[in-house]
Amino acid sequence: AESDEFVQMFLDEARTAADLRHANIVNIYEVGEAEATYYMAMEYLHGRDIRRIQRQAEKRKMPIPLHVTLEILRQCAMGLHYAHSKTDLRGKALNIVHRDISPHNLIVTFEGTSKVVDFGIAKAESQTQQTASGVLKGKYSYMSPEQARNPAAVDEQTDVFSLAATLHH
């Protein structure tokens, strides 16, 4: 709360994520400030991230069945498509790009629903803070070449690449 830049980035994330209402995106219920501390109350997801699921499968020497992997990624792709297609009340595209799709940010609930989480470094037209030119945000292992080359010029294809890299991993 002492850093104005951090607070603004936090509020940008909250604004971006709070407006996304889709079965395959974590829900944000409330954003606020209490005693000079900012908070974001979000949906509790009773489940595991994909990286943890992958590690458990490796430990047991049992690969995740292809149809299960494809269903997880299909659901995550549906959530991303919704975010990518989101418009404001006037119909103007918000141009939301997650920029950090990786196994750590894809959760599978014990009920079988896959959700995209952590829009903390998402890029959106509505943001008040923009990423400084040349600043890379995201996990290099899943980052598209375009994102690595020009972080300020990413579009939804960056997230699609990262989702495919997650499938490959």
User: Nearest Cα to 158, choosing from 12, 149, 118?
Assistant: 149
- Return the H-helix or E-strand segment holding 157: helix 156-168
Dig out the tokens for 113 from the structure: 């629903």
Give the catalytic positions in this structure: 100
Which two tokens mark 91? Answer: 């119909």
CB 100 within 8 A of CB 120: yes
Tokens of 118: 């952590």
Residue carrying the six token digits 């994520």: 17
